[in-house]
């Protein structure tokens, strides 16, 4: 495995080919970026923590019939995954108003949404990952109607599972981002990762304290400190919840 063989390097992961064309190796990095990479840093141990959390959550989802790209995790920061072509969509599910939803609508931080909101963003760094309308998504041919309907259904199913799972960890799942890909048989698989980098997770025990409750990448985005500790704490609780099952 060398720098020459990498297939793709993103902000948080490097994807390598393997001897099997149907299998890729994802190596999770400690690098952290925010605000479309305008803010850069490193969170010690993040790669291994996020890979471990994602691996557990993908396995839990698979056990509930949701197809993911996860195969196995040969090392704490490595995941063997089914080779997929990622759709250029960031699918965000929200249960509670935070982040860009508050900025763009004026809703107060922490407003509980009557029903989960599923949003599609165009995965395009140059354009700053803009929010899409359904019509724009189809105009750009980013996915078919059938794919969008299936993704929406899956995103809501995944939300129901994750909400309940994190509740068992004494964590409120505020919102999160998913990515989907197509394998060689054109099957739609959940891909990328589910981790404190891609979710907003609030510690229930911290009550409404807007800084203390944050157990996710907002600690890095907002310079709240103790980022590693928060990520480690999420991993600890996820492992405990999986063990209890």
Binding site for ligand C5P (CB under 6 A): 90, 92, 98-101, 129, 175-177, 198-200, 217
Smallest CA-to-CA distance from 223 within 35, 14, 11 is with 35
Measured from the CB atom, the residue of 82 and 197 that comes closer to ligand C5P is 197
Measured from the CB atom, the residue of 222 and 236 that comes closer to ligand C5P is 222
Q: Report the nearest approach of ligand C5P to the CB of residue 243 (Å).
A: 26
Measured from the CB atom, the residue of 2 and 104 that comes closer to ligand C5P is 104
* Cα–Cα distance list, 117 to 35, 105, 128, 192, 235 (Å): 22, 13, 21, 20, 26
Q: Report the nearest approach of ligand C5P to the CB of residue 43 (Å).
A: 14
Measured from the CB atom, the residue of 177 and 219 that comes closer to ligand C5P is 177
Measured from the CB atom, the residue of 33 and 168 that comes closer to ligand C5P is 33
Roughly what angle, to the nearest 10 degrees, separates helices 46-63 and 145-168? Answer: 110
Q: Report the nearest approach of ligand C5P to the CB of residue 1 (Å).
A: 26
H helix or E strand, kind and range, residue 166: helix 145-168
Q: Report the nearest approach of ligand C5P to the CB of residue 199 (Å).
A: 5
* Diameter of the chain measured on Cα atoms: 51
Measured from the CB atom, the residue of 82 and 179 that comes closer to ligand C5P is 179
Smallest CA-to-CA distance from 185 within 92, 55, 83 is with 83
Q: Report the nearest approach of ligand C5P to the CB of residue 244 (Å).
A: 25
Q: Shortest Cβ contact with ligand C5P: which residue?
A: 99
Measured from the CB atom, the residue of 60 and 197 that comes closer to ligand C5P is 197
- Using CA of residue 154, residue 189, residue 59, residue 192, what is the dihedral sign? negative
Q: Report the nearest approach of ligand C5P to the CB of residue 201 (Å).
A: 8
In 3-state terms, what secondary structure has residue 179?
A: strand
Alpha-carbon span 148 to 91, nearest angstrom: 10
Q: Report the nearest approach of ligand C5P to the CB of residue 184 (Å).
A: 26
Smallest CA-to-CA distance from 192 within 34, 86, 60, 120 is with 86
In 3-state terms, what secondary structure has residue 17?
A: strand
Alpha-carbon span 207 to 209, nearest angstrom: 6
């Amino acid at each position: 495995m060398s720098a020459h063989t990498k297939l793709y390097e993103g902000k948080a992961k490097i994807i390598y080919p393997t001897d099997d064309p149907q299998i890729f190796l994802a190596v999770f990095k400690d690098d952290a970026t925010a605000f479309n990479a305008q803010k850069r840093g490193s969170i010690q141990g993040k790669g291994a923590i996020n890979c471990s959390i994602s691996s557990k959550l993908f396995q839990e989802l698979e056990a509930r019939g949701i197809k993911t790209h996860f195969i196995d995790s040969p090392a704490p920061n490595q995941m063997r995954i089914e080779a997929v072509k990622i759709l250029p969509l960031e699918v965000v599910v929200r249960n509670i108003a935070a982040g860009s939803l508050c900025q763009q609508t004026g809703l107060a931080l922490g407003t509980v949404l009557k029903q989960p909101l599923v949003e599609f963003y165009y995965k395009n760094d140059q354009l700053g990952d803009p929010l899409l309308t359904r019509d724009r998504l189809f105009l750009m041919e980013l996915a078919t109607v059938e794919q969008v309907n299936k993704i929406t259904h899956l995103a809501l199913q995944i939300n129901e599972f994750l909400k309940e799972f994190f509740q068992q960890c004494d964590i409120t799942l505020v919102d999160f981002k998913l990515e989907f890909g197509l394998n060689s048989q054109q099957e739609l698989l959940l891909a990328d990762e589910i981790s404190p980098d891609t979710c907003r997770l609030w510690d229930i025990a911290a009550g409404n304290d807007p800084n203390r409750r944050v157990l996710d990448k907002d600690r890095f985005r907002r310079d709240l400190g103790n980022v590693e500790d928060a990520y480690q704490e999420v991993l600890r609780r996820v492992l405990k919840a999986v063990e209890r099952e």
